Structure 1
Amino acid sequence: MEHRRASAVKRQSFLHGALILMVAMAIERIIGALFKLPLTWILTPTGNGYFSNAYSLYAPLYSLATAGFPIAISRLVSENTVRGRFRDVRQIHRASIRIFLVLGLLSFSIMFFGARPYANFVLSGNPDNALPAIYVLAPAVFFTSMMSIYRGYYEGLRNMYPTAISEVIEALCKLIFGLSAAAFIVWKGMREYAAAGTVFGAAVKSEEYAKLATLPYAAAGAIFGVTLGGMIGFLFLWSYHRINGDGISREMLMHSPRPRPMRVTSSQLIRTAIPVALGSLAVNLSTLVDSTFLQMRIKDIMDSSPDVLLNMYRGIIPQSDIQLNLVPSFLFGCFSNATLLFMLVPGITQALGVSALPNVTAAWTQGDPKRIKHSVESVLRMVTLIAFPAGIGLSMLSTPIARLMFRAQNAPEITGKILIVLGLAAIFASISTPINSMLQAIGRVDLPVKLLVVGLVIKIVLNYTLVGIPEINVMGAGTGTLVCYFLITFLALYFLIRETKVMPNLFAIFVKPLLASAISVGAAWALQKFAAKIISADFATILAILTAAFLYLFLILWFRALNRQDIIMLPKGQKIVKILEKRHWIR
C-alpha cells in the first residue's frame, strides 16, 4: 500500500530529470555567455575584477541557499515520499519557509554591512571601486534563499521543471537588464566626458581614464540584472506553486500517517541541512579565497618586485592601470575570465548531482544494492562523458578559446595560460560535485564537508604561497584549484565505494571517455595549429572544436561507452536504443 501511494506522485527518472536540468543549464549557459562575453568587452579586465569581487563575496552566501539547504529539503522530501508520508512532505515545505526567511534576511545583512570591511581588506588601495556592485548584489541573496524553498521541494518530488524554468528566467533578466544597464552607464559616462571633461561630476585627464572611472558603476549596473532576475525567479516559483500545487492529492494525505511535530521536522531539516550547507559553503569559499589572496598577494608583488611581474606582461597590461595601481584588479579580472570557462563544466554536471540525489536516496532507503550500483554507475558514467572532453579541450586549446571568447582587449594571453591548469581542474571539479551529492543521498552528509574543508585548506596554502612568487603570480591560483579538486574527487570516490559497498566498473567509466577525449582533442589541437596558418585564428578554433566534438561522439560509440539502461531512462529512450543497437554501439 505504501509503495502504491508513493508511486501515485508523478516523478521523473534520474536521467529524465537530469536531462531537463542539463537542457535548462545549457540554455542558461548560452544566455549567460551572451551576457558575460559582451560584458567583458564593455568592462575590460579591470571592471570585470570589480564585478567578480561582488560575486566572490556573494558566492558563499548564495551557495547556502542554492546548493546547501535545498539538497537537504530534496533528500527529506524524497525519503518521505518513498515511505508514503505525504503529510510530512507538506510539513517540510512549511518548515523550510520559516528557516529560509530568516536565512535570507541574515545573508542579506552580512553581505550589505560586510561590504566595506571586505573591500578594505581585499583592495586596500581602491576599496570604493568594488562597493557599488556589492551593494546592488546584496538583495539577490534574499530572493535566492526564497527561491530555494520551492526548488528543493520540487526536486525532492522529482519534478525538475520549476527549477529549470526559474534558472532560465534568472539568466534572461541578467542578459536583458544587466547588460543594457552596464552599456548605458559606460555610454553615459563617456558622453559626459566628451561634453564636459568629467565623469559623473569628477574631472578626468583623458579618455582612457574616463573609461576607467565608469567601470565601478558599470559593474554595478550589470549586477542589477542578477538581483532583478532573482526577484522575478522567486515570483515565478511562488506563482507556480500556488497554481499547480505539488501533485499530492487529498486522498494521499488522508492515507498518510500523522506528521511529526513541527519542531521535530524543523530540527531534522536543520540537522540534515547544516553539514550539506557547510560543504557547499566550503566549495564556494574557494572563490572567496581566489578573490582575497590573489589580489592581496599581487599587491604584495607590486610593492616588492613590480619589475618581474610587469616584464612578464609587458604590452598586455595597460599603462593607465599600472599608474592607478589597478594591476591586482586587472589580473583578477583575467583569472575571473578563465574561471568563467572553468565553471561551465561543473555547472553542467551539477544538474546530474541534483537529479541523482532523490534517485539514489530512494534506492538507499529501499536497501536495493543492485539499484544502488546502477544509480552510482549511471551518474559517474554520464559525468565522465562530459567532464573529460570539456576539461581536456579547455586545457589544450586554452589560448585560442580565450582569444575567441574574450577578444584581444581582454588579455587572452594571460587568460589562456591560467586556463591550461583550470581546464584540468574542471575535470575533477565536475566529477566531485555529483559524487558528493550521492554521499549526501546515502546519509553521509558529513563526508563532503570534511573533504571540502581539507581541500580548501590546501588551496589556501598553495594560493598564498604560489601567487606570492613573482615569477608565478596569478598562475598559482589555478594550481591550488587543481590540487584541491583532485584530492576531493579521489577521496570522495573512495568513501562512496566504501559506504555503499558497491564497486562500479571504473575502467569502463573512466578509461574509455579519457581515451576518446585524448584522441579527439589531440586531433583538434593539431588541426587548429595547421588551419590557423590558412584561415583566421577564430575560424580555425571553431573548426577544431566542432571536429573534436564529432570525433569524440564517434569514438564513444565505437568504444561502446554508452549503457543501454541509461539511454532507456531518457525521453524517447526506447527509440534511441533501437537505432544504436542496430549498429552495435551500446552495451
Structure 2
Amino acid sequence: MERKRAAEKQSFLHGALILMVAIALVKIIGALFKIPLAWILTPVGNGYFGNAYSLYFPIFSLATAGFPIAISRLVSENSARGRYRDIRQIHTVSIRIFLILGIVSFSIMFFGAKPYVTYAASNNPENALPAIYALAPAIFFNSLMAIYRGYYEGLRNMYPTAISEIVEALSKLVFGLTLASLIIQSGMKEYAANGTVYGIKRVSEEYAKIATLPYAAAGAIFGVTIGSVMGFLFLFLYHKRHSDGITKEMLRSSPRPLPMRITTSRLIRTAIPIALGSLAVNLSTFIDSTFLQKRINDIMAENSEVLLKMYEGVLPSSVVQLNNVPTFLFGCFSNASTLFMLVPAITQAFGVSALPSVTEAWTGGNPKQIKRSIEQVLRIVAMITVPAGLGLSVLSTPIAALLYGEKNAPTVIGKILVVLGLGAIFAAMSTPINSMLQAVGRVDLPVKLLVVGLVIKLVLNYTLVGIPEINVMGAGTGTLVCYIFITVFALHYLCRETKVRLNFVRIFFKPLLASIISVGLAYFVQKTGTLLHFGKLSTLVAIAFAGVVYMACMLWFKALTRNDILMLPRGQKIVKILEKHNWIR
C-alpha cells in the first residue's frame, strides 16, 4: 500500500514548525554537548575543536551544501507541475553526484589539513591536526544525508530531515562527550602513575591536562563523525521503508521525464550559485579562525604587553608560557559563536520551509500570494530573531557565566557577545531572505551579496583584530557589519524582483518594541538579583521574565494574524482561544 501521509504537503508554517521543534531539540542536545565539552576541553581545547570545524564547513559547503536547496527547489517546481517522473529522476541523479563530491571533499580536507594549520595555528600547528583528521569522514556521510534531506524538503515533508537531525545530535552527544572524557582520564591516569602523558614527562598536573587536549578534542569531534553516520543510516532506512509517497497513479499520469543529462545540468546549474553562497557564509567562520589566531599571534610577537595586561587574571600562566594565547582567545570566540549561531539556526527552518512555499507562489504567478508568503516569513522571523539577539547582547556576560562557568573566561565571551548578539539578528534574517531570492529564481544575488559582505568582514577582521587594544573583539564587529550589509541589500533586491511593497512597520516595529521593553526589564531584574546575591539564579529568572513580558506585549500589540495561527497544527483551536480574548487580528 502506497503511503499517502508522506505525500501530504505541509504548509509553510507547519513545515517550519516541524523543523523548528527539531532544531530546538537539536540545539538543546547541542548545548548538552558543547557546554560540558567546553568545561572538559577549556578554551585551549575548544580552540582545537573550532579549528577543525573552520576547515570543514567551507569544503563541505562548496562541494555539497548547494545541492539540498537545488534538489528541494527542482522537486518542488516539478511537484507543482505534476512531473513526478522528473522528481524520481532528480533523486537518481543526485545520488551519483553526491558520491563523487563526498569522496573529493573528504580527500581535500584530509590532505589539506597540514598546510591549513601551519598557517592558521602557527603557534602550535601539530596540536590542531588530530581533530581535523577525526572530522574529515563526516563530510562524506553528510553529503549522502543531503540527498535525502533536499528530496523530502522539496516534497514538503520535513519529518525525515527533522528526525535525522535529532538522531545525529544524540549520537554526537553520547559518543563525543564519552570519547573526550575517556581520553583525558587516560592521560591523567598515566600522569598520576608515571608523571608522563603519552610517554612525555610533564612538570605538573595542569601541563599534563593541556597535553591531552589535542586528542580529547579529536575524540569529541569523532563523535560528530559518528553522528553523521547514524543520521545517514536513518535516512537511508526511512527511504527504503516509506519511499516518497508518489503513487503509481501519479507516475502514470506524469509526462515523460526530461533527458537525464538535462536534469543533471539543471541540478548543477541551480546548485553552483547556492553552493557559492553557502561557501561565503561558512567562509565567515574560516576567516575568523584563520585571521583571528594569526593576528593575535602577531600581537603576541610584537606587542604582547598590552594584550597580557588586558587579560591579566583571565589567562592562565601555563597558556602564556606554552604560547597558547591565540588558541585560548579563539576558543573564547568559538564559545561566543556557539551562542550567536543559535538564532540563525532557528530561522534556518523558515528558510527551508519558505523555499517550496514561495517557489509555488512564484511559479503560479499570483502577486497576492507572493506578497502574503514573503510578509508571513519576515513577520514570524522578526518575532523570533529580534528578542533573541537583543537579549543575547544585553545579558551577554551573565549568560556566558551561567553556561560556561567562571573557569572559561565568561567576561571575554561576554564582551564578544555584546556585538555578536546584535549580529545574530541580521544573520538570522538573511537566511530566509536569501532562500526567498533563490525561490524566485535569483540564485545569483545571495552569492554576490555574501561575497561583498565577506570582503567587508575580512578587511574589518584583519584590521581590528590586529589592534592590541581591540584584538578578539574586532572579529565580532566584522561579523555585525557584514550581516547588516547582506540583510539590507538582500531585502531590497527581494522587493525589487517580486515587485512587492512590504509594510516594514507592521513586520518589524512591534517585535522591536516588545523586545526593547522585555529585555530592558530583564536587565534590571538580573542586576537586582545580583545585588541581592542570587547569583546565577538571577540570570535564569531574568530570561524567563523577558520571555513572559515579550509574549504579553506581542499579544497586547496583536502582532499575530489569524492566518499565521491557522497554518499551525491545531491552529483552529488556538485561534478560538486567542479570538476570545481579542489577541489576534
TM-score bracket relative to the smaller structure: over 0.9
Q: 1:187 to 1:146 in 2, by over 3 A?
A: same
Q: 1:586 aligns to what? A: 584
The aligned amino acid for 1:519 is I
Q: 2:409 aligns to what? A: 411
1: CA distance, partners of 2:557 / 2:178: 47
Q: 2:452 aligns to what? A: 454
Contact preservation (8 Å) 1:175, 1:225:
yes
Q: 1:231 aligns to what? A: 229
The aligned amino acid for 1:473 is N
The 5 Å alignment of 1:259-338 reads 259-338=257-336
Q: Which runs of 5+ in 1 are unaligned?
A: 1-5
2: CA distance, partners of 1:14 / 1:537: 42
1: CA distance, partners of 2:502 / 2:175: 46
Deviations 1:250-305 (A, max 9, x none): 11111100000110000000000000010011000000000000000000000000
Q: 1:219 aligns to what? A: 217
The one of 15, 24, 27 aligned to 1:26:
24
How much has 1:61 moved relative to structure 2? 2.5
The one of 182, 185, 206 aligned to 2:183:
185
Q: 2:507 aligns to what? A: 509
With the length of structure 1 as denominator, give the TM-score of the two structures.
0.98
How much has 1:497 moved relative to structure 2? 0.4
Indicate yes or no: 2:78 matched with 1:80: yes
Q: 1:59 aligns to what? A: 57
The 5 Å alignment of 1:375-524 reads 375-524=373-522
Q: 1:121 aligns to what? A: 119
Q: 1:3 aligns to what? A: none
The one of 218, 242, 245 aligned to 1:244:
242
Contact preservation (8 Å) 2:347, 2:432:
yes
The one of 141, 145, 166 aligned to 2:143:
145
Deviations 1:183-224 (A, max 9, x none): 111111111101100111111111110010000000000001
The one of 202, 205, 208 aligned to 2:203:
205
Deviations 1:71-100 (A, max 9, x none): 000000000000000000000000100111
2: CA distance, partners of 1:8 / 1:192: 54
2: CA distance, partners of 1:448 / 1:455: 10
1: CA distance, partners of 2:16 / 2:63: 20
The aligned amino acid for 1:538 is K
Q: 1:161 aligns to what? A: 159
Q: Which runs of 5+ in 2 are unaligned?
A: none
Secondary structure of the residue that 1:325 maps to in structure 2? Answer: coil
How much has 1:124 moved relative to structure 2? 1.4
2: CA distance, partners of 1:336 / 1:124: 18
Q: 1:259 to 1:322 in 2, by over 3 A?
A: same
Secondary structure of the residue that 2:531 maps to in structure 1? Answer: coil
Secondary structure of the residue that 2:508 maps to in structure 1? Answer: helix
Contact preservation (8 Å) 2:332, 2:408:
yes
2: CA distance, partners of 1:65 / 1:534: 54
Contact preservation (8 Å) 1:295, 1:328:
yes
The one of 556, 559, 562 aligned to 2:560:
562
How much has 1:64 moved relative to structure 2? 4.3
Contact preservation (8 Å) 1:388, 1:513:
yes
Q: 1:576 to 1:67 in 2, by over 3 A?
A: farther
Q: 2:367 aligns to what? A: 369
How much has 1:67 moved relative to structure 2? 4.1
Q: 2:341 aligns to what? A: 343
2: CA distance, partners of 1:236 / 1:159: 15
Identical counterparts, % of pairs:
70
Indicate yes or no: 2:132 matched with 1:134: yes
How much has 1:65 moved relative to structure 2? 6.3
Contact preservation (8 Å) 1:64, 1:280:
yes
Deviations 1:94-132 (A, max 9, x none): 010011111111110110000000010111121110000
1: CA distance, partners of 2:103 / 2:200: 35
The aligned amino acid for 2:265 is S
The aligned amino acid for 2:90 is I
Write out the 4+ residue segments of structure 1 that deviate beyond 6 Å after TM superposition: none
Deviations 1:470-501 (A, max 9, x none): 00000000000000000000000000000011
2: CA distance, partners of 1:455 / 1:371: 31
Secondary structure of the residue that 1:114 maps to in structure 2? Answer: helix
How much has 1:171 moved relative to structure 2? 0.4
Secondary structure of the residue that 1:168 maps to in structure 2? Answer: helix
Q: 1:567 to 1:303 in 2, by over 3 A?
A: same
With the length of structure 2 as denominator, give the TM-score of the two structures.
0.98
2: CA distance, partners of 1:8 / 1:322: 57
Contact preservation (8 Å) 1:65, 1:148:
no
1: CA distance, partners of 2:241 / 2:213: 43
The one of 104, 109, 112 aligned to 2:110:
112
Contact preservation (8 Å) 2:63, 2:105:
no
Secondary structure of the residue that 1:95 maps to in structure 2? Answer: helix
The aligned amino acid for 1:229 is G
2: CA distance, partners of 1:8 / 1:137: 33
The aligned amino acid for 2:10 is Q
1: CA distance, partners of 2:354 / 2:426: 18
Contact preservation (8 Å) 2:7, 2:157:
no
1: CA distance, partners of 2:60 / 2:576: 43
How much has 1:59 moved relative to structure 2? 1.2
Deviations 1:395-438 (A, max 9, x none): 00000000000001100010000000000000000000000000
Q: 1:324 to 1:8 in 2, by over 3 A?
A: closer
2: CA distance, partners of 1:248 / 1:493: 36
Q: 1:528 aligns to what? A: 526
2: CA distance, partners of 1:359 / 1:256: 22
Contact preservation (8 Å) 1:400, 1:537:
no
Secondary structure of the residue that 1:130 maps to in structure 2? Answer: helix
Contact preservation (8 Å) 1:436, 1:448:
yes
How much has 1:505 moved relative to structure 2? 1.5
2: CA distance, partners of 1:196 / 1:331: 32
The aligned amino acid for 1:350 is Q
Secondary structure of the residue that 1:205 maps to in structure 2? Answer: coil
The aligned amino acid for 1:346 is P
